[in-house]
Structure 1
Amino acid sequence: MKNLLKLTQIAGISLMSVGLVNAQTFLDLETNAVSENLSSYLKSADDGWFAYSIPAAAGTHSMCCYNQGEKAACDLTKKQYGFGSSSDSLYTDNIHVFVHLDNGGIKRVMPMGDHCQVKAKGLTVDWLTDVSNNESINWLKHEASQNAHDSNNSLYVLSLHQGDAAPEALVDLAADNAGEYSEQAVFWLGQRQSDGYEYLAELYDSLPVGEVRRKLNFALSQNKTKDSVALLKGIALEDRDSEQQADAIFWLSQTDGVTDLPEFLIELMSTTESDEVQEKAIFSLSQIQTSEANQELAKLVKDHKDAEVREKSLFWLAQNSPERARVAAMDLLKTSSRESEQENAVFVLSQLPSEQSSAALFSVIKGDYNRNIKKKALFWLSQSDNEDTISQLEKLL
């Protein structure tokens, strides 16, 4: 990239950018223009700030700082800030990478978009005018591998670069299977909506079972393409790692646009023998919070052969649909021969909204149930602070 950003000095105090394509960026800082290899510069540079610009990946929203009191602005003199972009941000053609060297190391790497105002009154920023896309990627890749926690955001900035070299670098870092920076490389691949899926699929086939491979589930849920959802379903159905399989089920429930999810989860429960997968599928059904999902939970309470599945389904049904849970619990009391299941049904009734709970528990006390179940219902009624419930208890006793 050659001379994309031209700077004009004004009385040695401030600079304004001109000639920046589609730019609204204004630099309020002193600057020294530097034309030098990026790696060479880093080896010899003193502490301070330097910056360069490279083309942004397609569909990149303009990034900027948060909570600085002004809209779309970054002040380099501030010590504490967050930065990023949102789906409401304008698209940017370029990434302006600001790097802070401190005590001989990289303290912070900050990407800013074309629509971000940059301020740094009193600071000097060395501007590198001939940094290529590949040179930036190679430097950031090396920096990320040396910084396990990626506390300076080098992986985030790498993920914003244009072209195939950026996701390929992230794949290499993920393939290291080296802990946190590999896990974060997987995450940032998921943020590349235009081309992230094919690289995530490649990693799914090549990574060994373990934490880095499991991070693919969340990355796929964030990628949000049809192919990503299809792969996530495949993992949920038949992955050889039961922990990854269960985690995939959870992230499916958090992914928008999976219209057939209740049916998919019910089918999954009919084919798996894993308790962990069963439990996660029930929880995922509860997270959908639609009438269809609640109906499926009620069916599990009524018809599933496993008592533990019925118990968990009833618990989550009560959180989403108290009236359905009341009906299901009363049916269980009549049909189940397991005292522990009957006791759980009474407990669920006790957790319903006050009026529903009291009416149901009184019907248990007055109904044709064994003495122990009636005692449980009486116990839960005695915990109520509702005046009407207390009055009815006094009359009953």
Structure 2
Amino acid sequence: MNKSSLPCMLVALGALAAPASAADFAADVMREDGWVGWHVPLVDGVRAPCCYGVKRAAPLEAGCDLDQRIGVFGTSDGDLRRDTELAVYARVVHGRIEGVRAVGASCPVRAAKPIRDIDPVGPGRSIDLLTDWATGPRSAKADVDAALSAIAHHADSRATRVLATLAEPGHAQEMREHALFWLGHARGAEGARIIEHHATTDADPDLREKAIFALSQASGVDAYARILAISRSDRSDHVRGQALFWMAQLDDPRAAADISAAVAADASADVREQAVFALSQLDDGKGEDALIAILRGAYPREAKKQALFWLGQSGSPRALQALDEVLAKAGSASR
């Protein structure tokens, strides 16, 4: 090869690496009807999404039928896929995008007609196109979540910035909730920081409640400690009660003691009731232990009645033994 030709070749390769402009990329996507696909780096620290069926109560990878949406789209605790690339698919109808799916590059996909591949695509171009589509006029609720899921799984810092913007007041409530969820699911510690800001400052208690759930999904931070603080400080009884519920779902060894403390100390009867229910949700016998401790400890009478109810719902031998003890003690006291 002539050395003088090398710069020209590099320029040509650079031109192939990504469309010259956002408009060029959008035109390339929408120039033909049907499914079009491209690949971008997948964000670290998340399981690659795919589609799953269920067999004998266990998730079963089914692959994704882009036309029919067969199977449950998401991730599975049993999914061992460790893709480094995200495959993004857009359905074009009459020169407009009508649907988006994004899965791990190794997730099997199928469609009635061949999928047009337009690689290579820069992640920034991909995020911009998906953002424009997500914020444009649309009727199907699933479309917003599909677009934000795709954005969230891009290994590009712009994805976090876009989701943070869409979570701000001024956007539709549904958009904000979806943005917060995906910040928690896929954007690590920075996403958690953004969620916590909304969970502790937003004027809307419904939004704060949704933010707590999103925070419970976050990685890279002590989400439990942050939700515990909200359970003690939020001005809404309902939000404090929901924080206690999500604390119970995190399988944290601190949960039984902290939630029991709320049973004893929260000023709201509704929150105390929610706290007892949260205790009943603890796994591996911890819930039964905590409820039995409520029966035997210095807790409000209503809390003891609720603990009795949830122990009765359990039906385990230990729960029934505790109920027998309570009934025997009540019988002795009445004599």
Residue deviations 1:163-208 (CA, integer Å, cap 9, x gap) = 2211221121111352212111111111126333222223334422
**Which residue of 2 is the match for residue 145 of structure 1?**
135
Q: How many residues align?
A: 304
Residue 253 (structure 2) pairs with residue 259 (structure 1): yes
Match of 1:172 in 2: 165
Specify the alignment match of 2:206 in structure 1. Answer: 211
Give, in angstroms, the shift of residue 314 of structure 1. 1.5
With 205-214 and 280-289 compared, the bigger mean Cα shift is at: 205-214
Larger of the two Rg values belongs to structure: 1
User: C-alpha separation between the residues in 1 aligned to 2:282 and 2:299?
Assistant: 23
Within-5 A mapping of 1:213-362: 213-223=208-218, 225-256=220-251, 258-289=252-283, 293-304=287-298, 306-320=300-314, 321-335=319-333
Give the distance between the partners of 1:205 and 1:292, measured in 2 at CA: 29
For 1:327, give the aligned amino acid. E
Instruction: Report the Cα offset of residue 331 of structure 1.
Output: 2.2
The root-mean-square deviation of aligned C-alpha atoms, in Å, is 3.2
* Partner-residue secondary structure (3-state), 1:183: helix
| 1:219 Cα deviation after fit | 1.4
Aligned to 2:186: 192
1:53 is displaced (CA, Å) by: 1.7
TM-score (norm 2): 0.78
Work out which of the residue numbers 156, 159, 162 in structure 1 matches 2:149. Answer: 156
- Aligned residue number for residue 135 of structure 1: 125
* SS across alignment from 1:54: strand
CA distance in 1, matches of 2:67, 2:267: 58
CA distance change for structure 1 residues 234 and 84 in 2, over 3 Å: closer, same or farther? Answer: same
After TM superposition, give the deviation of residue 247 of structure 1 in Å.
0.4
**Whole-Å Cα distance in 2 between the matches of residues 265 and 89 of structure 1?**
34
TM-score w.r.t. the length of structure 1 is 0.67
Give the structure 1 partner of residue 5 of structure 2: none
**Matches of 1:240 and 1:73 in 2, distance apart?**
45
Amino acid at match of 1:200: I
The structure-2 alpha-carbon separation of the partners of 1:168 and 1:330, relative to structure 1 and needing over 3 Å to count, comes to farther
> Residues 332 and 220 from structure 1, CA distance in 2 versus in 1: closer, same or farther, beyond 3 angstroms?
farther
Q: Any conservation in 1 of the 2:83–2:105 contact (CA below 8 Å)?
A: yes
Distance 1:154 1:308 in 2: 46
